[in-house]
Structure 1
Amino acid sequence: MKNPNDSDILRLLEKRMKSVSEIEKEVEEIVQKVKMEGDNALSEFLRKFEKYPITVDHLLVTDEEIKEARVEKEFIETVKTVVEDLKTFHMRQKENSFFFTTSNGSFLGEMVVPLNSVGIYVPGGKVSYFSTLLMCAVPAMIAGVERIVVTTPPNENGKISPYILKVCEILGLKEIYKMGGAHAIATLAYGTNTVKPVDKIVGPGGIFVTLAKKRVFGDVGIDSIAGPSEIAIVTDGSVPLDFVAADFLSQAEHDESAMSVVITTSLEVFEKLPEVINKQLLSLPVERKKTAEASIQNFGIVILVENLKRAFQISNLIAPEHLEILVENPFEYLGYVKNAGSVFLGKYTCESVGDYGIGPNHVLPTFRSARFSSGLRVSDFTKKIFVTHVSKEAFEEKWRIYSKMARWEGFEAHARAVDVRRDML
């Protein structure tokens, strides 16, 4: 696509959003049934949707199953290193309570309090998303959440990935349920006799999970309504085509609805990159190749623009989940970025290092929501409670303000609540 206007880009984005909104009614029925019928509905959906006919009596992973999980020794050491890197980054996000006394003696402040309980949804399927578990659990633990629940769909043998179980063991997480999909989200939101509800649900998933989170929002908190993965790569041709092609495919292999976009000022990149992408595509494993091919067919695009200023205008319009800046002197262009979930600067900074734990979280806004939201962080697992104590001196000085404002708004009882205290001065 050469020099597209904003309308061209928005039409592509609108098509992508429509492609994942056709099953909302089915999700609504699942959520409502679990909410009203509890375990009975959950049992029905476990039989209908899970690969293994699990029952509510065997939803909870046992201590024995966790202990029996076998993984490479190197995996354990690797995860421990990543946990420390994630902690180093996320500890800097911690917010402190603050209190102060005014000149007339009132005491004001804000308490930062952890949520009581959080449910982490870990996607299942043909790959093991243990990295998502790390990204969700570490900031929750730093925030001080007391109860952290994990749910993930079992495989065809009724088992949970040993990698996920080992991460749970390393992190000390013991409440793990074998369920996925919309029924899992509804169960976490509303609870049943078997599963206690949580206060907030985090973690990405497929379209059923995404729409279920949208449906339960308000009854519980959620991190975001996340869609399929997406990447925008801005390049001036100074980075090898193999790098750009590899990063393009790193998102395309995620999902048939994933979006990979390259925005370049280089005619050589525009003309030669598709051939390089295709060459790398052919060498992928069969399942990943099949997924990536569909993704590229649906939402893979290379855009040629006249200058980098225009490249970043398009990038900001897309508001991508991941933005790679593969240009000479990439730091010079960081100020051009207005909308992105996470930014990766320079030729050695592929998005994969973000996915696998260099520090910043990989649970990020998609579907243009980076225009108004941010990636998962410690503050997502806390709430702020305001604290007020009014001294007699402060009340005497300002009671007229509050009384008059109440009456101007038409709330007489509010005003009288102030006035009755005035009479005691």
Structure 2
Amino acid sequence: MLKLKNPNDDELLSLLEKRRQSFSQLESIVEEVVERIRVEKDKALNEFIKRYEKYQLETNNLRVTEAEMKGAVVEEDFLRTVNEVIEDLKEFHLRQRENSFFFTTNNGSFLGEMVVPLESVGIYVPGGKAPYFSTLMMCAVPAIIAGVERIVVATPPDKDGKISPYILKVCQRLGLKEIYKMGGAHAIAALAYGTETVKPVVKIVGPGGIFVSLAKKKVYGDVGIDSFAGPSEIAIVADKTAPSEYVAADFLSQAEHDAYAMSVVVTTSEELFERLPKLIETQIHNLPEESKKTAQLSVKNFGTIVLVSDLKRAFEISNIIAPEHLEIIVESPFETLGYIKNAGSVFLGKYTCESIGDYGIGPNHVLPTLRASRFSSGLRVSDFTKKVFVTQMSKEDFEKRSTRYSKMARWEGFEAHARAIDVRRETT
């Protein structure tokens, strides 16, 4: 674990760049996967499934059947809980809906913007260590609210070739029927370009491991993506009023995700700064074995505790980090909102741990990482729509305004543009 006292900006940026560079050597592997599936379709998809998946399915068995959906069995308590969380997510995301608008100018021209749902979306749901049914809900609810007609789910199967019943039940609850047993970069490529088995989509959303993220980066431009997302991040700004046990627990809540996850505490309290490493170590040893191993690697790689002189400097540092999750555990958290420029999602006060955001209090948990919160936002309803401009120019408006547009075209050197305007003026 790294301890820093009053670090300068360059020290922080070098740490962040080290984390980013750790992914770069994997890009060539992903490029081969994506390009071969784009060209060879099912043939390449079969090969990569056999190479990378826990269970080696043939492409003709990739799609989840109706019998598999009906055979999924979960606890009644799970179904009740999921229903409650979905309603909470709907309440929040319904407020994000945007409306089309149209208006008429004084001279009778008709102008506007139509909000149009995307035709199809692929949701990537990570598999591996756990069934991420929460991610499925986070991605599907805003897509459904936006009005997307075709929503496809891709998620890797377990060692027996099955999808978690928790994921299948959430799909049932949300009315999602097109589900494929595939993960990794090859799943992203199949969704983007299509194969004989998988029909392509126009946008892919949902987090995944580094291979998934690099594949999304590679296909961007041919299809839309939500973001190039790296492993999880949390920054915690804490003062002397922050309970140290809470800070340590929240520090580890992201560290157990991935060996490349980043956890940072920025504090004005020297007592907290000195006490945290031992407390974090104790809490790590009380985790289950699998979480313990991952958290230990994450803390060793990117766990950082920073001591600063005041809260203003603390937020300067958090803005440089631009974290996915930002917790603020200080005496007056609302008074600090004005300091925040870069963060994916903000959690205020000692009772608002990041975990409640992961599991559905309202705001989405699919968030920008790797400093992307400097220029982007968490997943929202508008990510599943596009805006189409609409124009109809009246004869009166044309006669009044058209000369200015043909002048502008000629100033830019585009004679054909100008003549397309002039020919109408000459025949009106």
Alignment partner of 1:23: what SS?
Answer: helix
Aligned to 1:269: 272
- Please give the residue correspondences for 1:149-228 in structure 2 after superposition, counting only pairs within 5 Å: 149-228=152-231
Say whether residues 1:340 and 2:315 are aligned partners: no
The TM-score, its normalising length taken from structure 1, stands at 1.00
- Please give the residue correspondences for 1:27-46 in structure 2 after superposition, counting only pairs within 5 Å: 27-46=30-49
Aligned to 2:73: 70
- Please give the residue correspondences for 1:88-167 in structure 2 after superposition, counting only pairs within 5 Å: 88-167=91-170
Alignment partner of 1:262: what SS?
Answer: strand
- What CA distance in whole angstroms lies between the structure 1 residues aligned with 2:240 and 2:168? 43
- Please give the residue correspondences for 1:278-357 in structure 2 after superposition, counting only pairs within 5 Å: 278-357=281-360
1:329 shift after superposition: 1.1
- What CA distance in whole angstroms lies between the structure 2 residues aligned with 1:81 and 1:63? 25
1:279 shift after superposition: 1.1
- What CA distance in whole angstroms lies between the structure 2 residues aligned with 1:328 and 1:194? 56
The residue type paired with residue 181 of structure 1 is G
- What CA distance in whole angstroms lies between the structure 2 residues aligned with 1:281 and 1:74? 29
The residue type paired with residue 335 of structure 1 is G
Aligned to 1:238: 241
1:424 shift after superposition: 2.4
| Misfit runs of 4+, over 2 Å | none
- What CA distance in whole angstroms lies between the structure 1 residues aligned with 2:358 and 2:263? 16
- What CA distance in whole angstroms lies between the structure 1 residues aligned with 2:178 and 2:120? 11
Aligned to 2:418: 415
The residue type paired with residue 253 of structure 2 is S
Alignment partner of 2:25: what SS?
Answer: coil
Alignment partner of 1:22: what SS?
Answer: helix
Say whether residues 1:17 and 2:20 are aligned partners: yes
CA distances 1:6-63 after superposition (whole Å, capped 9, x unpaired): 0010010011001111110010001000000001111111111110010101000001
Aligned match for 2:6, one of 3, 6, 19: 3
CA distances 1:273-310 after superposition (whole Å, capped 9, x unpaired): 11111111111000000000000000001100000000
- What CA distance in whole angstroms lies between the structure 2 residues aligned with 1:4 and 1:108? 53
Alignment partner of 1:176: what SS?
Answer: strand
CA distances 1:354-385 after superposition (whole Å, capped 9, x unpaired): 00000000000000000000000000000000
- What CA distance in whole angstroms lies between the structure 2 residues aligned with 1:96 and 1:293? 47
- What CA distance in whole angstroms lies between the structure 2 residues aligned with 1:123 and 1:197? 19
- What CA distance in whole angstroms lies between the structure 2 residues aligned with 1:172 and 1:130? 14
Aligned to 2:262: 259
- What CA distance in whole angstroms lies between the structure 2 residues aligned with 1:237 and 1:181? 43
Alignment partner of 2:231: what SS?
Answer: coil
- What CA distance in whole angstroms lies between the structure 2 residues aligned with 1:349 and 1:259? 19
CA distances 1:309-360 after superposition (whole Å, capped 9, x unpaired): 0000000000000000000110000110000000000000000010000000
Say whether residues 1:83 and 2:83 are aligned partners: no
- What CA distance in whole angstroms lies between the structure 2 residues aligned with 1:22 and 1:37? 25
CA distances 1:113-169 after superposition (whole Å, capped 9, x unpaired): 000000000000011111000000000000000000000000000000111011001
Say whether residues 1:362 and 2:365 are aligned partners: yes
1:237 shift after superposition: 1.9
Q: Among the aligned pairs, what percent are the same residue?
A: 72
Aligned to 1:54: 57
Alignment partner of 2:264: what SS?
Answer: strand
Gaps of 5+ in 1: none
Aligned to 1:384: 387
The residue type paired with residue 127 of structure 1 is A
Greater displacement, 136-145 / 237-246 = 237-246
Aligned residues: 425
Alignment partner of 1:155: what SS?
Answer: coil
1:191 shift after superposition: 0.2
The residue type paired with residue 168 of structure 2 is L
CA distances 1:249-269 after superposition (whole Å, capped 9, x unpaired): 001000000000000000000
- What CA distance in whole angstroms lies between the structure 1 residues aligned with 2:279 and 2:165? 36
Alignment partner of 1:71: what SS?
Answer: coil
The residue type paired with residue 104 of structure 2 is T
- What CA distance in whole angstroms lies between the structure 2 residues aligned with 1:164 and 1:416? 59
CA distances 1:376-413 after superposition (whole Å, capped 9, x unpaired): 00000000000000000000000100110111111111
- What CA distance in whole angstroms lies between the structure 2 residues aligned with 1:326 and 1:115? 39
The residue type paired with residue 401 of structure 2 is K
Gaps of 5+ in 2: none
- What CA distance in whole angstroms lies between the structure 2 residues aligned with 1:344 and 1:176? 33
- What CA distance in whole angstroms lies between the structure 2 residues aligned with 1:376 and 1:141? 13
Alignment partner of 2:427: what SS?
Answer: coil
